[in-house]
Each structure stands twice: as C-alpha cells, then as structure tokens.
Amino acid sequence: MREIEAGEVDVIIVFGAALAADGSPGPALLRRIEHAVALWQAGRGRWLLCSGGLVAGTRSEAAVMAGCARAAGVPAQCIVEEDCARNTWQNAQFSAALLRRHGWRTALLVTERYHLPRARLACRLNGLPVVAVSGPGHPPGRGRGRRLALALREGLACGMMLMRAAAAILRRNGAESRQAAGD
C-alpha cells in the first residue's frame, strides 16, 4: 500500500510507551499523547486510536493515553482504545485490524523520532497506510552516547520484529498448506 498524503485523516494512531511505576504516563508516552491531542484539536483527524496493552501494573497504556486525551478535551466518543498490543509489531497489527473494522482508510501515526523507522516498517508489513510523524523535541539525554544507545536499541528491536513477522508468515503459510492438503 502507498503512504497517504499529509492532511486530514480518518484516525490519528498513537503507539504506546512505558508507564511510570505509579501507573501514570511515562515521559515518552506523555510526549506522544500530547502531540496526538494537539493534532486532533487542530482538525488533522476525526478519531484518536490509542494503542498499547497491559505491560505492567493494572492499567493499559491505551487506557492511560485515553484518560490523558479526555482530560485535554477530546470527547470519549472520538477515542478508540486498542489495549492488547505489547510491542510495536502488535501495535501495527492490531491497529490495522481496527482500521479495517471501522472502515478507516487513512491514518496519521504519532510516535518518537527514534521509533519512527521501526514503527513505519511495522505498519507497512501489516498493510497499514500511515503518514508517520514524531512529536516535538527529543528524549532526555540527547548526547552522542544517548543517540547511539537508541540506535542500537532500535536496530535490535527491528531485527526481533522482522523475525516475529517472518515466523508469523511461515506459520500462516504452513497452516494454509495443511488446509489445502486436507481439502
């Protein structure tokens, strides 16, 4: 699928990030949801899709983001929570399913600048046509060492994601082959 043009979209998707120990939004999650809300308030999208599951604690990343969005004035009826994803691959996979279910065709993806390449790749591999944007600013510690650490982290995470994707394709193809042989 080709990427859509920037402009008004059906839905603004926000990929989750870690929560603080007390269950409040962590710094990356807060930057992402604040930027997504600003885009929604500027009329860039009709819906806000918060994607992030329960990684630790009792509240999902999606629930925390949705609460922040409501507190900032986004009506509850304009927010959809995807609360099962536990990683970037699942964020894209489950968000793509929700887009199909709701009949949405265009999406704007909000995440961190360092996370954009992996998030965009996950979206493409899941047939999710997005324009990807990052929020303003950078994570704390913008020195060379921090940038190198983020690049290494993202490189390893991208490799893991590609292995998961390949495994899923092999499982699906194997199941289809077994089903065809049984017919």
Q: What is the pLDDT along the chain (183 residues), one digit of tens a residue?
A: 344 445 689 999 999 999 999 999 999 999 999 999 999 999 999 999 999 999 777 899 999 999 999 999 999 999 999 999 999 999 999 999 999 999 999 999 999 888 888 898 899 889 988 887 776 655 555 667 666 666 666 666 667 777 777 787 778 777 666 666 675
**Residue listed under structure tokens 């199941």:** 175
CATH architecture of 9-142: 3-Layer(aba) Sandwich (3.40)
Report yes or no: 55 and 18 within 8 Å, Cβ to Cβ. Answer: yes
Where exactly are the structural domains of the chain?
9-142
pLDDT of 164:
78
Token digits of residue 49:
């899709």
- CA 62 to chain centroid, in Å, comes to 10
Cα atoms found within 13 Å of the Cα of residue 94, Cβ hemisphere only: 21
Token digits of residue 39:
């885009």
pLDDT of 162:
73
**Residue listed under structure tokens 């949705």:** 66
Report DSSP state, residue 106.
Answer: -
Answer yes or no: pTM beyond 0.85: no
**Maximum Cα–Cα distance across the chain:** 60
Give the relative orientation of helices 144-182 and 116-125 as an angle to the nearest 10 degrees: 10
Provide the edge-to-edge strand list for the sheet that holds 107-111: 79-82, 45-51, 9-15, 107-111, 130-134
pLDDT of 152:
66
Write phi, then psi, for 82 (nearest 5 degrees): -110, 105
Strand partners, 135: none
